Amino acid sequence: MTAYSALEDRFRKIAVLGDALAMLQWDMATMMPDGGAEARTEQTATLKGIIHELVTAPDMEDLLERAASEVQEPWERANLREMRREWIHAAALPPRLVDALARAESACEMVWREARPAADFARVLPSLRVVLTLVREVAAIKSERLGVSLYDALLDQYEPDGRAAEIDAVFTPLEGFLPGFIAEALEAQSCRPALLETKPPFAVDAQKALGLAMMKTLGFDFHHGRLDVSHHPFCGGTPDDTRITTRYDEGDFASALMGVLHETGHALYEFGLPKGRWRSQPVGRARGMVLHESQSLLMEMQACRTPDFMAFAAPKIREAFGGSGPEWEADNLYRRSIRVGRGFIRVEADEVTYPAHVIIRYRLEKALVEGRMELEDLPAAWTEGYQRLLGVTPPDDRLGCLQDIHWYGGAWGYFPTYTLGAMTAAQLFQAATDAEPGILPGLARGDFTPLLSWLRTNVHAKGSSVSTRDLMAAATGRPLEPAAFEAHLRRRYLGA
């Protein structure tokens, strides 16, 4: 057995263990009774420990060095590069820290589930302090190993080679652009005919049936996935068994529906990743969270909030809830789907205000990781950010710093990928519709095949064989440019 084939075999085992861990985590978020928390913490911590041991085995560095002279095929070279990336991240951390963080994350998430509905940040503060202390330790170790800043060391786990300096170069002008543009969009909206409201309640069973139908329309494969309910919508599981979740509100069917469309975008990316030999290898995985978020936002924001798609969807929505009258017509439902409003909840935000939600979180988590802010100051700093960028004041912590699971579950350095993903989605969708004139007419018929085919070829099937930068250049003819996102917003919301 060559060094490279030995590595492929080892990473295949790592992938299988990771798949098992993903299913346990999905179950914890959807089906597991509260009494299973202690045992589940032990299970997830043990699996993470075994994975860490395999990635950091004593012979790993030698195998990586010897394999470098064995590989010839481009995909093998890319796979070896991704193996080395994974090894560098894992080997930087001592096993006791991996175990401690896994246990702290699971424990904190369970407390968060109680604290969030109670709007009680103080309840989760001690557990979150433990998580942040360990995250700072991880950041310090990886920062030294990678030769990057504390925040960059965490960001790199979610977006390979992502750097805060590049994010700041994009977010700083966007932060200056958003307050004025939000006001412009609201002004333009006020000059149009008043929106007609659909009247609740909207039965959960009807919402679920509609969501399942729309998932099928987009191309979701129910032989390899399912829809469930959780506290926070997410896409999990594996590429061959993809689990998405949403949450329902009988007073607002659009929230769950758009959540389902968003998570279906994630799932379609997972379904489209390379199969066969590469399915269980690092090169066959999604290329970072910027691209992953681009795929969810491309489906939800770019494709499903077009007049074309709404022409198809409106009769389905009307039938699902037994609606009648002008409030259920396509034009009214479309304008409702792009309604701009200053709100508190990120996952329910429109695409104009959404970047502000992300920028606030990015600034806060960066300050917390770098020690420029303490956790006790988080609720007040959160409120200040919302007043400054969105002009609203969260009434309590449930609608403030408790709303997202990320920090409580240990995901630090993740948030900026959402808005970077939105920019990527806008640029990819423009390139796709330019290249394939049948995409928009297809959406009007409920046929996502032209769009999905383009994405399969230009994004999904690439896996991690190329960098995000190179993928964007090949797919769109240019690197990611924030101007494309701004132009999209101006066209959609100002008609400019």
Q: Mean pLDDT over residues 123-131, rounded?
A: 98
Encode pLDDT of 375-406 as tens digits: 999 999 999 999 999 999 999 999 999 999 99
| Model confidence at 258: pLDDT above 80 | yes
Q: Mean pLDDT over residues 249-264, rounded?
A: 95
Residues serving a catalytic function are 263
Q: Domain spanning 166-494: which CATH class is it, in words?
A: mainly alpha
**Residue 367: predicted pLDDT:** 98
Q: Mean pLDDT over residues 14-26, rounded?
A: 96
**Residue 479: predicted pLDDT:** 86
Q: How confident is the model at residue 347 (pLDDT cuts 50, 70, 90)?
A: confident
Q: How confident is the model at residue 164 (pLDDT cuts 50, 70, 90)?
A: very high
| Model confidence at 23: pLDDT above 90 | yes
Spatial separation of the C-alpha atoms in residues 474 and 426, rounded to whole Å: 15
**Percent of the chain whose pLDDT exceeds 70:** 100
Encode pLDDT of 439-487 as tens digits: 999 999 999 999 999 999 999 999 999 999 899 999 999 988 888 899 9
Q: 374-394 b/e with 16+ CB inside 10 Å = b?
A: ebeebbebbbebbeebbeeeb
Break the chain into its structural domains and give their ranges: 3-153, 166-494
**Residue 169: predicted pLDDT:** 86
Q: Mean pLDDT over residues 297-322, rounded?
A: 97
**Residue 173: predicted pLDDT:** 87
Spatial separation of the C-alpha atoms in residues 75 and 6, rounded to whole Å: 16
| Model confidence at 496: pLDDT above 80 | no
Query: Which is higher by pLDDT, 267 or 34?
Result: 267
| Model confidence at 70: pLDDT above 80 | yes
- Statement: the pTM of the whole predicted model exceeds 0.85: yes
Encode pLDDT of 411-449 as tens digits: 999 999 999 999 999 999 999 999 999 999 999 999 999
**CA torsion angle for 27, 30, 34, 35 (degrees, to 10)?**
-30
**Residue 122: predicted pLDDT:** 97
